[in-house]
């Protein structure tokens, strides 16, 4: 018996790949990725899902007539999949309280900073790393947290620090944070949450 994982993506899917690779290595024994959903047409993440033999689905946010219609379709797909855990992996759509309230302690997100630094509305992608470099901090990192109605406001599951080096650009720092932190703690956190769900059922 494994927890069923749906991964929500918007772009290239590098964090999805980290989860798929960890699962292939046997590092997520209590979970299985059973669905990948993209909110953007043509997201390369869906190609990654296909290569891994995982069903992929596109729910085009713009074609749904607004956030409510989008979330309705999203919920329908998740329910049909009998989803236990929802992982936001570079997913750029903000989810409403109506949505997050349906899945308490079931939605997890990875954010490329040490929350509470450089997080919340407007902080995503390279903007986070630009802010860290502009502020002159010497250490940054990544955080995996549960998702609630406040952007980056849910309970923290795991954090990992990454050193900032002289000469770093936002792009160089982004890559190092991914390799040294995001791709390490995201699969670990997915397993931790799946394990807790399975334990509840026994």
Where are the domains positioned within the chain? 3-201
Calpha distance 98→123 (Å, rounded): 22
Write down the pLDDT at residue 62: 80
In terms of Cβ atoms closer than 10 Å to its own Cβ (0-12, 13-18, 19+), residue 67 is middle
CB 90 within 8 A of CB 48: no
- Please determine, for residue 202, whether its predicted confidence score (pLDDT) is greater than 80: no
**Residue 145 annotated among the catalytic residues of the structure:** no
pLDDT tens figures, 46-89: 999 999 999 999 998 888 888 889 999 999 999 999 999 999 99
Q: How many residues would you count in the chain?
A: 202
Return phi, psi of residue 24, to 5°.
-65, -30
pLDDT-based confidence at 44, cuts 50/70/90? very high
CA distances from 108 to 25, 51, 87, 177 (A): 21, 24, 5, 18
pLDDT-based confidence at 162, cuts 50/70/90? very high
Write down the pLDDT at residue 102: 95
* pLDDT over 70, % of the chain: 100
- Please determine, for residue 114, whether its predicted confidence score (pLDDT) is greater than 90: yes
- Please determine, for residue 185, whether its predicted confidence score (pLDDT) is greater than 80: yes
Q: pTM of the prediction?
A: 0.94
- Please determine, for residue 4, whether its predicted confidence score (pLDDT) is greater than 80: yes
Catalytic residue among 40, 61, 111, 145: 111
Two tokens, residue 26: 């046997």
- Please determine, for residue 2, whether its predicted confidence score (pLDDT) is greater than 90: yes
In this structure, whether the domain defined by 3-201 belongs to CATH 2.40.50.140 is answered with: no
């Amino acid at each position: 018996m494994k927890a069923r994982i749906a991964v929500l993506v918007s772009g290239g899917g590098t964090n999805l790949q980290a989860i798929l690779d960890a699962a292939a290595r046997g590092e997520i024994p209590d979970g299985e990725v059973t669905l990948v959903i993209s909110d953007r047409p043509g997201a390369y993440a869906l190609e990654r899902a296909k290569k891994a033999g995982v069903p992929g689905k596109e729910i085009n946010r713009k074609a749904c007539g607004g956030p409510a219609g989008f979330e309705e379709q999203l919920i329908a797909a998740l329910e049909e999949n009998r989803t236990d855990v929802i992982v936001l992996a570079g997913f750029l759509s903000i989810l409403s309280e109506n949505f997050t309230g349906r899945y308490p302690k079931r939605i997890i997100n990875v954010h490329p900073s040490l929350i509470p630094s450089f997080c919340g509305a407007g902080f995503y992608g390279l903007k986070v790393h630009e802010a860290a470099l502009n502020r002159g901090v010497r250490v940054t990192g990544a955080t995996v947290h549960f998702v609630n109605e406040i952007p980056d406001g849910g309970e923290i599951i795991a954090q990992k620090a990454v050193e900032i080096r002289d000469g770093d650009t936002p792009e160089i720092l982004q890559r190092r944070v991914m390799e040294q932190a995001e791709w390490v703690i995201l699969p670990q956190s997915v397993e931790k949450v799946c394990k807790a769900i399975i334990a509840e059922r026994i």
